[in-house]
Structure 1
Amino acid sequence: MNDPCAPLDTRSAASDRFVALFSHAPVGIALLDADGGIVSANPALGTLLGIAPEALADTKFTSYVTSKPDAAALDALLGSYFGTDPAEPTRFETALEQTDDGDMRARLTLSSLPADQAGMSYPVVMVEDVTDLNLLHERLRHQNLHDPLTGLPNGTSFHGQLESAMVDTSRAVVALVLLDIDGFRVINDGLGSEAGDKILKGVATTLRQVFDGVDENVARLTGDGFGVLLKGDLTPQHVIKRVEHAFDRLAEPIYFGDTGVGISASAGIVLRAPGGASDRDMLRAAEVTLHRAKEAGRARWMLFETDLDTEDRRRYRLGAGVAGGLERGEFEVHYQPTVRLDGSRVVPVVNAMLYWNHPTEGRLDCDDFVPLADATGMTVRIGTWMLDQALKDYAEWRRHAGDRAPDLCVRPPRRLAIDDDLVKIVRSQLDKHDVPSTALRLCADGGTLVDARGEVHDSLSVLNEIGVKLVLAVSAAADLELIRRNDMPVDYVSLNGQIVDALLDAVESGSTQYEHLAHLVRSAQQLGVRIGAAGVRTEEQANALAGMGVVAARGRFFRGPLPAEDLAELINAN
């Protein structure tokens, strides 16, 4: 393949350089003829294929390609490198047969070299062994798409599978199940991270065994969250049955020494036809449904329902809009008077009640939005704002009425009541508005006082020591036991509206429930606390409560919640 027009010594030197390069190149090189036969192979190619270079001569290069489609495609390509107008270099990856070690993954570079005949060229193939590189790439790809602890596909892989499933109309139905382990943090913190890892591996194994169909995929999506994707002719009943089977399997104890730990899970289930919704719609629907299952008490599944989803969307929009509503001044505090039941109708205390004047939903009670504020981390801010506004209004009443101003009772949201900074927040607000601590009552329910760390008790005790009075909202006799058991400095108890309604039923029916409620009041009296009631709607309720020993009450029978200005007029009129 020398240039016949070049001087003899120049052609010889070039030939020598080519032979040296050809012989010592680290990559395999094969010079081919017009039919793709190997004219000459260098030692590196012989080493790669495990065949002596001279034995490769006169064999067809594509005979070493293990894939017939690849061999045919390579044959077609090689034809374009022979002739007077050779193609540009091309890369081609395929598997080549090795005599000793099986197949080798090879990257081929196809090019051409000038022939002895002027203007003609012949194909040349350079061969690189990329087997190890491909294995590394595959390993890295596997790591990128799989969870290292459980070996399950991870979120990235699962979301890709879901996206593909939602556009594949060859399947009638796609079902998405999101599962969370209930109380996993308790297990992980209580038994240690090694035990937590063992639990996660056990859950992964169980889910793989339960959902082992061809069109069923399981993945670990979050720390204790898993996803299951099913495709086919599915019905809700079929998917629910599979999920319940998984729940039963997960309940089988996993042992750590003598300790057997049973797992429960919550699940959200969504079924949709491909093409009718996006993968994002599916995920959002499943996440909302899972959240609803958790709110309903955990250890249960829930199936996506459009009506409930509409309501959930409304609620979550409310939760997301709390911060903006507070910024725009949409929140306000009204005050409901508590009236003595001795006939004097004196108002010893007014109860602060928080409302949100929502631009589209109208006036919302705190029960409509405070639980949602918990989810967005706004509860402490809302509770602090409420306390600030209530003390600001109270300071104005006191400025005009002096000691005739009733006490102010504020029931902070539970998240604020258990906050480590409760004492600091309350004291700073009292100082800010120059309100004596003895004028403030803080109300909490039994659920707030059940604090294993004791910090709520400590905070309320400190506040009581500086003069703040404590009120316990009572819904059952067990709430009174909290006072005795924890030696809580409670000054007042307030029977909630449900108890008051039950009292009315008892009076009307002559049921022994009346005596049970009377016993509840006597138990409170034995603790040395004063008893009030909320939610009084009728004169009959008020009279019955007074007869039992309840000293004061509030509710629609007396007066509804009033704006600060109207309450100021009521105070000044007394």
Structure 2
Amino acid sequence: MVASNTIKSDSARILVVDDNERMRKSLAALLEAHGYEVELADGGVQAQEWLERQHFDVAMLDLMMPDLDGFGVMRRLRERDIDTSVIVVSGDSSVDVAIEVLRAGAYDFVRKPYAPEVLLHAVENALEQRRLGQEREQMQRRMERSEQLHRYMVNKSPDIIYLLDSEGRFKFINDRVESLLGFSPRELIGKHHTALLPEGEVPAKDRFDERRGDSRRSKSVEMTLRCKQGGANPVVVENSAIQVELNAWGMYSSPEDGDRRFVGTYGIARDISGRKQAEETIRFQAYHDLLTQLPNRTQFKEYLEAALRRIQDQDDRLAVIYVDVDRLKIVNDQLGHLYGDEMLCTLATRLKACLRESDTLARIGGDEFGVLLPKVSGVEDAKRVAEKIIEILKEPVRLGEHELFASVSMGIAICPEHGLTVDALLTHADIAMYHGRDLARGSYGIYSTDMDGEFSRHLAIERGIRTGLDSGQFSLCFQPQVSSEHGNRLIGVEALVRWNHPEFGNVPPSEFVPVAEESGLIIMLGDWVLEQACLAMVEWRELGFNQVRMAINFSSIQVAQSDFAEKILIALNRHNLPGEMFEVEITENVLMSDMDSVSEKLGVLVKEGVTVAIDDFGTGYSSLSYLHSLPIQRIKIDRAFVRVIGETETESSIINAIVSMASGLGMEVIAEGVETDIQRSYLAQVGCEELQGFLFSKPVPSAEVTEILLNSVKKRA
């Protein structure tokens, strides 16, 4: 074994192995910043050369490399008995790979992308484990000097060490057996080794009482040993058995004694309960939702597949209920995801209370549950469960100081009537759910073939967005924004997308925008809107209208893109437009999704003169702290507050407070949804500088905006 010195925290040597140069250097920089000495290898072959030539305490090892992969490097370490702790850092997050890595001898497994603190914690643990191991090795070498020290070493070993006679009875067993299993060595000496084996552990009997001494002997055999029941040891009293890894050798008399005969067994049993528990945890996480602890979609489909096989043999029926939580997004947006998570857990508990023990409840999506009724007589049984769920959700859900009423929309599919496969039943239950929700939220639908046409509209909308952009089906309208201080003069517009579908006619944004967001097509659609808005601004500038500001609302998906700010600035530069003519509108909830990242992107835009406005202000995470710390220049009062002006003193006070707050922070205020003179007068009176709404103009094409601008010039003349 390659010799190693006791590790000091300021001198630990680490080898970083990754064929990705950027990842390799990034990892090295992180480790060097924390005082570690780092060497780099660009692949498995170079890593092998380093490890054979020099000592390293830890190797940070990528798994997938072209010349020699991580498993190959670990195999070479074992073959050459090189004493280096391995931490695998890999982007492959599958359960099987994680388990295989641990079994191959890695100390730990860190998934890419990693949090720096997680990786550093793994390194610290590995070094601490090595330090303890090295200290133990030094102690063992000292104890080998005498039999007394040797016995002490055996008894303090972390493993159970035992000797059996030729009849399989214990001749010796160290003290470790008491802390692991609860038996004292004294009560086991002279007893047959089966005293430690659970009933029925027949294959393990021959392994524990190993008689082979050659290469066929028991090596790294996993087996179960039973714990003493009713003992006083609190460490083992809760366990009935533990998992161990056994290595055992048959012992034979020396040739000098005459005929070579079997004299007993020497064995070492290492506790691997921790490792097995870690493997079980990985398996659980792969097949369960960690929030609700329910089976996830993968596990649900496996249960459904098994149930389908059973009913085919027995000529039975089963039912699938697709459960969609209504308005969960509103809870997440207005109260925060912690409250949304709490609501999901509460709903999971209530749904489970409506089911039999043989039924399965799973969380199969962000706001979706699946119910499997493995044995029903017909659709009436599934309807009764759905009605139970509706009834139990009539009770309010308390979230902190808030009391909310939750509802779900459900779809029912029966096998064999509505499908014979997993995918068919889930798809048809999903279609039925959409049908039930369209009729009334908080209800359920039962699948029929008539529903396929309705569901196909959703799919047609998604497909139509792709083709509609190329075939000129989409258009931009612009709703004017006017100055309340200058005779309602037009000072800006908000770009609003419209879609005239060849089959469905005018599709409202409230229908196609969510589909675009769900499918990711919002990026393509948003790029088109940005380009068309820039072309309109170019047209107005050529007519001499240089001060008309263009406002575009961006979704959280668009803002989350790494090139969000860059894409806007490239478009402005391409059309030679100043940033001062452009306004980015985002909601408060977009800010809260990742405040640091969003703030950085908005800061880049603001440096180039772009204005940032908060849309629908007052309906989400209204907070003075983010208003003060983020690069925001304008607040847009939501139409819900404008609509009730004059109805109650409270609502008017809210607008007054928003305007006063914005003024104190040096921000401008615009109100949307202005439809009456009373609303206009009140807003102007409290100091709201800009207004937008049907009172001034509905959304109109670019040509009509041009006409409004030209008419305004004539009036001033």
Same-fold status (TM-score > 0.5): yes
8 Å CA contact 2:635, 2:670 repeated in 1: yes
SS in 2 for 1:434: coil
- C-alpha displacement of 1:277: 6.0
Matched, 1:284 2:427: yes
8 Å CA contact 2:412, 2:445 repeated in 1: yes
The within-5 A match list for 1:24-103 is none
Distance in 2 separating the partners of 1:158 and 1:523: 56
SS in 1 for 2:543: helix
Report the AA paired with residue 175 of structure 1.
A
**Matched residue, 1:341:** 484
Q: Structure 2 residue aligned with 1:521, among 659, 671, 684?
A: 659
8 Å CA contact 1:445, 1:474 repeated in 2: yes
- C-alpha displacement of 1:219: 9.0
Distance in 2 separating the partners of 1:546 and 1:285: 54
SS in 1 for 2:631: coil
Using the TM superposition, name which of 372-381 and 268-277 deviates more.
Answer: 268-277
**Matched residue, 2:707:** 569
- C-alpha displacement of 1:389: 0.8
**Matched residue, 1:543:** 681
Report the AA paired with residue 684 of structure 2.
A
Q: Structure 2 residue aligned with 1:324, among 450, 467, 483?
A: 467
Distance in 2 separating the partners of 1:564 and 1:219: 50
8 Å CA contact 2:362, 2:370 repeated in 1: yes
SS in 2 for 1:449: helix
8 Å CA contact 2:636, 2:672 repeated in 1: yes
**Matched residue, 2:672:** 534
Distance in 2 separating the partners of 1:290 and 1:463: 43
**Matched residue, 1:397:** 540
**Matched residue, 2:575:** 433
Count of paired positions: 385
Distance in 2 separating the partners of 1:360 and 1:504: 43
Which one has a bigger Cα radius of gyration? 1
The within-5 A match list for 1:216-235 is 228-229=372-373, 230-233=375-378, 234-235=380-381
Distance in 2 separating the partners of 1:561 and 1:517: 24
8 Å CA contact 1:401, 1:572 repeated in 2: no
Matched, 1:387 2:530: yes
Q: 1:167 to 1:539 in 2, by over 3 A?
A: farther
8 Å CA contact 1:319, 1:375 repeated in 2: no
Q: Deviations over 1:142-163 (max 9, x none)?
A: xxxx999699987367347549
Report the AA paired with residue 681 of structure 2.
N
8 Å CA contact 2:413, 2:446 repeated in 1: no
Distance in 2 separating the partners of 1:480 and 1:176: 41
- C-alpha displacement of 1:406: 0.9
8 Å CA contact 2:411, 2:436 repeated in 1: no
Report the AA paired with residue 608 of structure 2.
I
Report the AA paired with residue 232 of structure 1.
S
**Matched residue, 2:641:** 499
Q: Deviations over 1:134-182 (max 9, x none)?
A: xxxxxxxxxxxx99969998736734754986999x76x7421357999
**Matched residue, 1:369:** 512
Using the TM superposition, name which of 308-317 and 440-449 deviates more.
Answer: 308-317
Q: 1:220 to 1:530 in 2, by over 3 A?
A: closer
8 Å CA contact 1:441, 1:469 repeated in 2: yes
Q: 1:309 to 1:466 in 2, by over 3 A?
A: same
SS in 1 for 2:488: coil
- C-alpha displacement of 1:398: 0.5
SS in 2 for 1:347: strand
- C-alpha displacement of 1:443: 0.9
8 Å CA contact 1:495, 1:532 repeated in 2: yes
Distance in 2 separating the partners of 1:227 and 1:561: 45
Distance in 2 separating the partners of 1:395 and 1:266: 48
8 Å CA contact 1:439, 1:468 repeated in 2: yes
Q: Structure 2 residue aligned with 1:239, among 379, 385, 397?
A: 385
- C-alpha displacement of 1:353: 0.8
Structure with more contact order per residue of length (Cα contacts < 8 Å, sep ≥ 6)? 1
Q: 1:455 to 1:302 in 2, by over 3 A?
A: farther
SS in 2 for 1:505: coil
The within-5 A match list for 1:245-324 is 268-272=410-414, 274-275=416-417, 282-288=425-431, 303-304=444-445, 313-324=456-467
SS in 1 for 2:583: strand
**Matched residue, 1:257:** none
Distance in 1 separating the partners of 2:608 and 2:307: 61
Report the AA paired with residue 702 of structure 2.
A
- C-alpha displacement of 1:418: 2.9
**Matched residue, 1:406:** 548
Distance in 1 separating the partners of 2:517 and 2:602: 21
8 Å CA contact 1:340, 1:553 repeated in 2: yes
Q: 1:527 to 1:274 in 2, by over 3 A?
A: same
Distance in 1 separating the partners of 2:480 and 2:364: 52
Q: Structure 1 residue aligned with 2:321, among 177, 187, 203?
A: 177
8 Å CA contact 1:370, 1:413 repeated in 2: no
Distance in 2 separating the partners of 1:468 and 1:302: 46
Report the AA paired with residue 520 of structure 1.
I
Q: Deviations over 1:186-210 (max 9, x none)?
A: xxxxxxxxxxxxxxxxx9xx98996
8 Å CA contact 2:585, 2:614 repeated in 1: yes
Q: Deviations over 1:414-467 (max 9, x none)?
A: 311232211111111111111111111111111111134511111111100111
Report the AA paired with residue 444 of structure 2.
L
| TM-score of the two chains, using structure 2 as the length reference | 0.46
8 Å CA contact 1:153, 1:220 repeated in 2: no
Q: Structure 2 residue aligned with 1:418, among 560, 570, 573?
A: 560
Q: Which runs of 5+ in 1 are unaligned?
A: 1-145, 184-202, 252-263
Distance in 2 separating the partners of 1:245 and 1:346: 55
- C-alpha displacement of 1:241: 7.0
- C-alpha displacement of 1:288: 4.6
- C-alpha displacement of 1:222: 9.6
Distance in 2 separating the partners of 1:225 and 1:479: 28
**Matched residue, 2:301:** 155
SS in 1 for 2:524: helix
Q: Deviations over 1:36-57 (max 9, x none)?
A: xxxxxxxxxxxxxxxxxxxxxx
Distance in 2 separating the partners of 1:324 and 1:496: 33
Q: Deviations over 1:267-315 (max 9, x none)?
A: 94415485466656532132356789999xxxx9863367998765533
SS in 1 for 2:472: coil
Q: 1:243 to 1:363 in 2, by over 3 A?
A: closer
Distance in 2 separating the partners of 1:450 and 1:422: 17
SS in 1 for 2:544: helix
8 Å CA contact 1:167, 1:275 repeated in 2: no
Matched, 1:467 2:613: no
- C-alpha displacement of 1:367: 2.7
CA root-mean-square deviation: 4.7
**Matched residue, 1:199:** none
- C-alpha displacement of 1:226: 5.9
Q: Which runs of 5+ in 2 are unaligned?
A: 1-282, 289-294, 330-347, 398-405
Q: 1:484 to 1:527 in 2, by over 3 A?
A: farther
